[in-house]
Structure 1
Amino acid sequence: MKLLKLLFLSFTFLIFSCSKKENHSYGFYYWKTRLSLNDTEKKALNQSTLPYLYTRFFDVDKIDSKFQPVGVIIKDKNFETQKKIVPTVFITNRTFLYIKKEETAFLAKSVYLLIQKKIAEYHLSVHNEIQIDCDWTAGTRDDYFKFLRELKKISGKEITCTLRLHQVKDKDQTGIPPVEKVYLMCYSTSSPLENSDKNSILDVNILKSYLSKINEYPIKKIEVALPIYSWGIVTNHLEKHKLINALSQKDLENINFKKISGNTAEVQKDGFYFGHYLNKGFTIKIEEISDDQLKDVVQFLESKIPNFNIIYYQLDSKFVFNQDFNF
């Protein structure tokens, strides 16, 4: 009898353990040049469970062999939030091509000074972290990693960086960044400008193949960035493509569009659509992410990564309206 009770309790505990849902705190990236929140965005941000807003301050590119800040953030007077701002800077990979040693230190100092200037100018309450976003490669890894070390030395801040899928899969070639925490970008699984029937924002099977050994990645503190954005891929008669951001399936419900598949329509009449002039015969393919896809990714990562937070890309009323973030 005791043995039966013990087996019953063990079985009950096993069922409970398997069915227990892991709760992930979540926050948002803010990736617009103008820092301003409408009511929908304020509500979504206030309901988020992380105390941070990951805010893009500016991009850095190399133009005519000179480092240039691009799209430096500006702030509306009415912007306010109780969240701590995490300054985030995107740097193009080509910025680190053929960079000299003294230029690395100059770049790190320039990036830090511009961040500090914007913090002071807009009276922002910031977290003790700077996040760098760069799609570094095997050819730029050493100089990019030097930059990260230099930025940490100059700023005294916690320096973190993004981690793309190929940088996980090919870690022996792309190297391991000198940081204690990375943000795994679970999107951009392929190029939207290629002819493909796959969803370029997120193909879960591709993601799983790239992250099959993420549990072996040397940096143990990994946060997860998930996509909630959408877009339309327009293809012209010459098979050239361009993106129109924030389109959804509902946008295909137009008398001048003819549905040719579940997520693709053909323009039937020349005209302006979504702020762009499109000719008859152009096609529009919608790519968006479902809750089921996000749940699939989260469940997969729960078996690989312990105790991760989720940061959704991005905070925009077009993407956060009626969205369920409790994965």
Structure 2
Amino acid sequence: MKVLKALLILILFVSCHKKEEHPYTFYYWKTHLKLDQVEKKVLDHASVPYLYTRFFDIDKADGKFQPVAVITKDKSFETGKQIVPTVFITNQSMYHISAEEIRFLAKSIHELVQKKTQEYGLKINNEIQIDCDWTAGTRDDYFKFLKELKRVSGKEITCTLRLHQVKDKNQTGVPPVEKVYLMCYSTSSPLENSNKNSILDAAVLKSYLSKLEDYPIKKIEVALPIYSWGIVTNHLEKHKLINALSRKDLENPGFKKISDDEVEIIKDGFYFGNFLSKGFRIKVEEISDEQLEDVTCFLEKKIPHFNIIYYQLDSKFVSNRTF
């Protein structure tokens, strides 16, 4: 196994010929802002001076926009990095919204970002990043919103870019921003019956991004996954996710090993905060350094020099990884 791993690394290295060093940093995607010593150390070594920090989500219920899971802050959240406020907006929030609603939403987001920045004494840069899985049906209003947020805030507005939005750009459109963040993960649904790694399947990604070099926005940063999870399958072949599981978590006397990344539960009990019955299966999906190297090598042939933002900063995901 060690020989095979070394051979894979050698093949990737040769295929990339001279390796480019990419400046990197992280996303921080927890509601309560706090950093343990491992996270602080890893963040301090990151070569990009920013930490992309989720401030809140926006959803729409009963016709009204609502902020969801707004951040709180612990005193341990201290860093020399500048914070880039990041806001997730559900796609359904963008369906059939009026010009007045667009103005209201942009103003409200800007004011809430300012409020949280001042309340917690955060050092932010001149950027607000919007994360939305917009579609052909919401593109026009979403793009109007991005322009309005730029006007209201006076900030540089950037946004995330998903794989299907690259592949189907003629349908989903190109956002009115100067910089996008390409999300190189979630290549399929973890709740489907599939042998593919739903976090990152390189073949799927390469298919979607085969014409990436033709994308009209030339400033593209790259978001890569370092997270993991477990997919639990019950007797009816229904699935649920347990976040942050790794292969190491599968080492349990209550489990029978099926493969390197899958076990069957042989004893009813509480595992990882969930009651799981005998016969249930747990499959872990995690991302190897070789997978990340493969994707990075592919992207280097498609777009010029890019920064990498790893998703996400958590001691569970960064403690045993070299950046």
**TM-score over 0.5 (shorter chain):** yes
TM-score range, shorter chain: over 0.9
TM-score by length of 1: 0.93
Identity %: 75
Q: How far apart are residue 259 of structure 1 and its match? A: 1.3
Cα distance in 2, alignment partners of residues 240 and 111 from structure 1: 37
Cα distance in 1, alignment partners of residues 210 and 273 from structure 2: 41
Cα distance in 1, alignment partners of residues 282 and 213 from structure 2: 38
Bigger mean CA offset, 126-135 vs 255-264: 255-264
Task: Identify the match of residue 82 of structure 1 among 64, 80, 83.
Answer: 80
CA RMSD after TM alignment: 1.0
Task: Identify the match of residue 164 of structure 1 among 162, 165, 177.
Answer: 162
1:250-288 Cα distance to aligned partner (Å, 9 max, x none): 111111111122211111111000111001111101000
Task: Identify the match of residue 246 of structure 1 among 238, 244, 247.
Answer: 244
1:6-57 Cα distance to aligned partner (Å, 9 max, x none): xxxxxxxxxx9x7422110000000000110000000000000000000000
**Alignment of 1:109 onto 2:92:** no
Which runs of no fewer than 5 residues in structure 1 stay unpaired? 1-15
Task: Identify the match of residue 23 of structure 1 among 14, 21, 24.
Answer: 21
Moved over 3 A (4+): none
**Alignment of 1:48 onto 2:46:** yes
Other-structure match for 1:13? none
Q: How do residues 71-220 of structure 1 correspond to structure 2 at under 5 angstroms?
A: 71-220=69-218
Cα distance in 1, alignment partners of residues 165 and 278 from structure 2: 41
TM-score by length of 2: 0.94
1:187-219 Cα distance to aligned partner (Å, 9 max, x none): 000000111010000000000000000000000
Which runs of no fewer than 5 residues in structure 2 stay unpaired? 1-13
Other-structure match for 1:237? 235
Cα distance in 2, alignment partners of residues 238 and 96 from structure 1: 35
1:279-305 Cα distance to aligned partner (Å, 9 max, x none): 111110100000000000000000001
Cα distance in 1, alignment partners of residues 18 and 267 from structure 2: 53
Q: Which amino acid aligns with 1:289?
A: I
Cα distance in 2, alignment partners of residues 161 and 277 from structure 1: 39
Cα distance in 1, alignment partners of residues 298 and 121 from structure 2: 40
Cα distance in 2, alignment partners of residues 133 and 19 from structure 1: 34
Other-structure match for 2:11? none
1:138-167 Cα distance to aligned partner (Å, 9 max, x none): 000000000000000000000000000000
Bigger mean CA offset, 198-207 vs 236-245: 236-245
Cα distance in 2, alignment partners of residues 78 and 200 from structure 1: 33
Q: How far apart are residue 180 of structure 1 and its match? A: 0.1
**Alignment of 1:58 onto 2:67:** no
Cα distance in 2, alignment partners of residues 112 and 63 from structure 1: 20
Cα distance in 1, alignment partners of residues 190 and 18 from structure 2: 37
Q: Which amino acid aligns with 2:73?
A: K
- Secondary structure in 1 matching 2:103: helix
- Secondary structure in 2 matching 1:201: coil
Bigger mean CA offset, 162-171 vs 76-85: 76-85
Q: Which amino acid aligns with 1:236?
A: N
Other-structure match for 1:3? none
Cα distance in 2, alignment partners of residues 53 and 77 from structure 1: 17
CA contact (8 A) 2:36 2:76 kept: no
Cα distance in 1, alignment partners of residues 199 and 76 from structure 2: 33
Q: Which amino acid aligns with 1:69?
A: P
CA contact (8 A) 2:231 2:284 kept: yes
Other-structure match for 2:320? 322
Cα distance in 2, alignment partners of residues 280 and 152 from structure 1: 54
- Secondary structure in 1 matching 2:317: helix
Q: How do residues 248-267 of structure 1 correspond to structure 2 at under 5 angstroms?
A: 248-267=246-265
